[in-house]
Amino acid sequence: MSIPPMTAGVTPAGEGLEGVAWNILGQTYRPVALTESAFAFDTLFPPGTFVPPHIHPLQDEFIRVLEGNFELVLDGQAGAAGPGDLIRLPRGQSHGIFNRSAAPVRALFWVSPARSLYELFARLHDLTDPNEVVRIAAEHEVTFLPPQG
């Protein structure tokens, strides 16, 4: 996919670019900005949903928690973040994000550079097989780590 030049404007609250909303393993992702240098997306993590530990070897990732609380695994260490907190995830560092609370978590994520994360999310939309998610993610420079026993 060729990334078109960014235009000035406003992406309204609760909407994705061109009306796009992806369901990725029970979470909702809405792209809100896309350039070659960055990709931003709003997320909604219902209770009990998570992204298992993984690595973006070529992207820095940031998460601004808007509502609710995330539990984190950052390079093997437990952490937590709540409303207003900014989670910084340097490229090459493993991280996992979990909503273990009884309330949804809303957050704004962004990565830099964009690479092919937009295309990855489009391919993952409505997939239900975690093994297929892991396989496709590897094609887009996201490596999921084996489960820890």
Residue 107 has a pLDDT of 98
Residue 3 has a pLDDT of 86
Residue 80 has a pLDDT of 98
Q: How far apart are CA 32 and CA 6, in angstroms?
A: 11
pTM: 0.94
Element at 62 (helix H, strand E): strand 60-67
Residue 146 has a pLDDT of 83
- Burial (Cβ within 10 Å: 0-12, 13-18, ≥19) of residue 44: buried
Residue 148 has a pLDDT of 66
* pLDDT values of the chain reduced to their tens digit, one per residue, 149 residues: 688 888 899 999 999 999 999 999 999 999 999 999 999 999 999 999 999 999 999 999 999 999 999 999 999 999 999 999 999 999 999 999 999 999 999 999 999 999 999 999 999 999 999 899 999 999 999 999 987 65
What is the set of domains in the chain, with CATH numbers?
20-144 (2.60.120.10)
For residue 140, give the amino acid letter: H
Residue 4 has a pLDDT of 82
Q: How far apart are CA 80 and CA 85, in angstroms?
A: 9
Residue 149 has a pLDDT of 54
